[in-house]
Structure 1
Amino acid sequence: MKNSTMHCLSSQSNVASILPPVLIIEFLLGIPGNAIALWIFWFRMKVRRPSMVYLLNLVLADFLLILSLPFRIDNLLRGEHWIFGDPLCRINLFMLAANRSASISFMTVVAAERYFKIVHPHHRINHLSVKWASAMSCGVWALTLSLRIPLLTNQLLQEHNGSFLCRSFSSYSTIPVGILLHYLLYVAEFFLPFSVLLFCAFRITWVLKRRSMNRDRKIRSAIRVVAVITLVFAVCFGPGIVTGLTALLIKQLSPWDCVSFRVASEWFSASIAFTYLNSVLDPLIYCFSSTVFRNTLKKSINYLGLCQLEVSRRGSVTSIT
């Protein structure tokens, strides 16, 4: 793509020098954490409930997101020079966007499932079968993948000063329709799910306090689960929204101010570290919030003979599964 179609295009040397060590650490932590979680959900946990289907899909989305990380690390280590060609650039950015969307979707579904079980315990949605939960999960994947097709049909590789820049959010003077859809989805998939998470958290807390049930250990755990998911969501996906909207605002209000636009763009690119951080933190959320998962993990460690851990007998009490 010729630079004449771009607005204030530049390489991001600061991001390329700072971000790789962070992403390498996230990859080294995220791969084993998600692989173990995937193994436990798929092979070790005998209980099969709809909520476990959602969690399994959340693990899968996180695992696939982490798998795309080495390409991004290599790109940054080369000073943001993409050597794998335009097709792999599109596929890599497609995987990043699609699995980020799927991860957000299933985090929201898990929180909403807690909301219905506590606030509306007699609602028929609480009696969905595993088959229906699986069908709904397939629908989520189909929707997220189809909405990200523009990343596969638009050229995303730009040449700048002898380097090839692989970006889905770039400095377009006139944003192509497919990329504009990508931008809108990026914003919508933060604000809409975050609103749902906040609503679930406040509604659960309000209802339980009104019913004077907030001292029960199981109830406290339910509140904690939704609160932790909301916090992780805000920390991991909030910085990208704030910096991205700031860059777009500068472009609209001060299109001649390339210095400010480039600084905001660099902050936005650096925020990808928080996106990958979500995949690192999610396995900790499973251990923190689910006694069933935690006990299965302990049993697996005991089975492998690595050490002997005490397994709680109240595994069915504190659980998001």
Structure 2
Amino acid sequence: MPPVYTVNVILGLLGNIVALWIFCFKLKTWNPNHLFLFNLVIADFMALFSVPLRVDSLIRGHWVFEDVLCRINLFLMFANCSASIALMTVVAIYRYFRVVHPHYRFTRMTKRQAAFVLVFVWLLVISHRVPILAYNYIKDSGNNTQCFFFTPHILLLHHSILMVLMVLEFIFPLAILLFCSIRISSFLKERQMGKPDKVRKAMRVCAAIVAVFTMCFLPSTVVTIMWVICSYRSWDCAATNTIVLLSHVSLGLNFLNSALDPIVYVFSSSMFRKALLSALPLHHALRPEHRQEHAFS
């Protein structure tokens, strides 16, 4: 897993630094969708800052940092997961209303109103993740000290509730994403029969968001369910170790979300896409008189 985590960090940093640069210096105008995507970048950096400590503990085979860093590390990981899910859901809902119900008041949201939505989202995300900071997740076993949230010795009701919330925060957003994607696709098929390219493009956008969401968060949800079952019954060491291994893999896929989110930015915002293309060296190398010829090559 350390090589996988390291690749995720490298790709995530490259993609999100470019995204941050485009948002801060290349976008001339901002709209609510850009604010939502910009906050998704912030959520990704929360995970990217926490991964190096996790990589170090996996390479060493044990946790060498203090209890405080263990709590902060777990808080950042799970807060990133919740924030990414919530913000991707908000982006999908906003896109749904913009396409299917363009005359609704929600589609005429101002940047100030979008900021209030974001404050609500972050308060919702942090409120049920802050309790993670209140518990000790260090498990001492001789020279094999570990920092891990899902362990059989944690049987507190609070943690069981958090596990259930983790499952629910995946199921409901996934249902919303699927609904928005299906409705957008069917609406465009009905209204844009003469523009099949536009329909296919919109369907690719929806498919990209749902695919990234499912690939990155479904495995961790399945592992969470396994830990809930494990907490209420006696499992042998081999089965428990298997779940621990699956937990590391699912965390790797969670971190992969930070590397794949820039793809969502490109698909979800035409202005972001144009700003990215204008910043590429190839775009500047093409002289205006050659761009039309290049477009047909």
TM-score (norm 1): 0.83
Map residues 299-310 of structure 1 onto 2, 5 A cutoff.
299-302=278-281, 308=285
Higher mean Cα deviation, 136-145 or 179-188? 179-188
Do structure 1's residue 58 and structure 2's residue 37 form an aligned pair? no
Do structure 1's residue 171 and structure 2's residue 152 form an aligned pair? yes
Distance in 1 between residues matched to 2:16 and 2:246, nearest whole Å: 27
Distance in 2 between residues matched to 1:244 and 1:215, nearest whole Å: 44
Q: Which residue of structure 2 aligns with residue 148 of structure 1?
A: 129
SS at match of 1:68: helix
SS at match of 2:285: coil
Taking a change above 3 Å as real, the CA distance of residues 94 and 170 of structure 1, as seen in their structure-2 partners, is same
Aligned-pair CA distance for 1:309 = 5.8
> Can you list the C-alpha shifts for 1:208-228, whole angstroms capped at 9, x where unaligned?
333354834344322221211
| Count of residue pairs the alignment pairs up | 289
Taking a change above 3 Å as real, the CA distance of residues 256 and 101 of structure 1, as seen in their structure-2 partners, is closer
Give the counterpart of 1:277 among 233, 241, 256. 256
Do structure 1's residue 290 and structure 2's residue 272 form an aligned pair? no
Give the letter for the 1:84 counterpart.
Answer: F
Taking a change above 3 Å as real, the CA distance of residues 214 and 90 of structure 1, as seen in their structure-2 partners, is farther
Q: Which residue of structure 2 aligns with residue 16 of structure 1?
A: none
> Can you list the C-alpha shifts for 1:235-274, whole angstroms capped at 9, x where unaligned?
011111123323433554x514332232123212221110
Taking a change above 3 Å as real, the CA distance of residues 214 and 248 of structure 1, as seen in their structure-2 partners, is farther
> Can you list the C-alpha shifts for 1:183-204, whole angstroms capped at 9, x where unaligned?
1221111111111111111122
Q: Which residue of structure 2 aligns with residue 228 of structure 1?
A: 208
Q: Which residue of structure 2 aligns with residue 112 of structure 1?
A: 93
Aligned-pair CA distance for 1:286 = 2.0
TM-score (norm 2): 0.90
Q: Which residue of structure 1 aligns with residue 57 of structure 2?
A: 75
Q: Which residue of structure 2 aligns with residue 8 of structure 1?
A: none
Distance in 2 between residues matched to 1:157 and 1:309, nearest whole Å: 57
Give the letter for the 1:153 counterpart.
Answer: A
Question: Are the counterparts in 2 of residues 115 and 204 from structure 1 also a CA contact under 8 Å?
Answer: yes
Distance in 2 between residues matched to 1:189 and 1:83, nearest whole Å: 32
Question: Are the counterparts in 1 of residues 185 and 202 from structure 2 also a CA contact under 8 Å?
Answer: no
Do structure 1's residue 134 and structure 2's residue 136 form an aligned pair? no
Aligned-pair CA distance for 1:113 = 1.0
Map residues 75-114 of structure 1 onto 2, 5 A cutoff.
75-79=57-61, 81-114=62-95
> Can you list the C-alpha shifts for 1:50-72, whole angstroms capped at 9, x where unaligned?
11110111111112211111111
Do structure 1's residue 246 and structure 2's residue 223 form an aligned pair? no
Question: Are the counterparts in 2 of residues 250 and 260 from structure 1 also a CA contact under 8 Å?
Answer: no
Taking a change above 3 Å as real, the CA distance of residues 121 and 291 of structure 1, as seen in their structure-2 partners, is closer
Distance in 2 between residues matched to 1:28 and 1:290, nearest whole Å: 24
Do structure 1's residue 36 and structure 2's residue 22 form an aligned pair? no
> Can you list the C-alpha shifts for 1:92-137, whole angstroms capped at 9, x where unaligned?
1001111111111111111111111122121110011001001111
Identity of aligned residues (%): 40
Question: Are the counterparts in 2 of residues 158 and 166 from structure 1 also a CA contact under 8 Å?
Answer: yes
Give the letter for the 1:124 counterpart.
Answer: R
Distance in 2 between residues matched to 1:56 and 1:148, nearest whole Å: 21
Taking a change above 3 Å as real, the CA distance of residues 216 and 46 of structure 1, as seen in their structure-2 partners, is farther
SS at match of 2:140: strand
SS at match of 1:163: coil
Q: Which residue of structure 1 aligns with residue 294 of structure 2?
A: none
The Cα RMSD (Å) is 2.3
Give the letter for the 2:98 counterpart.
Answer: K
Taking a change above 3 Å as real, the CA distance of residues 116 and 288 of structure 1, as seen in their structure-2 partners, is closer
Greater fraction helix: 2
Question: Are the counterparts in 2 of residues 101 and 144 from structure 1 also a CA contact under 8 Å?
Answer: yes
Higher mean Cα deviation, 175-184 or 156-165? 175-184
Unmatched runs of 5 consecutive residues or more in structure 1: 1-18, 314-321
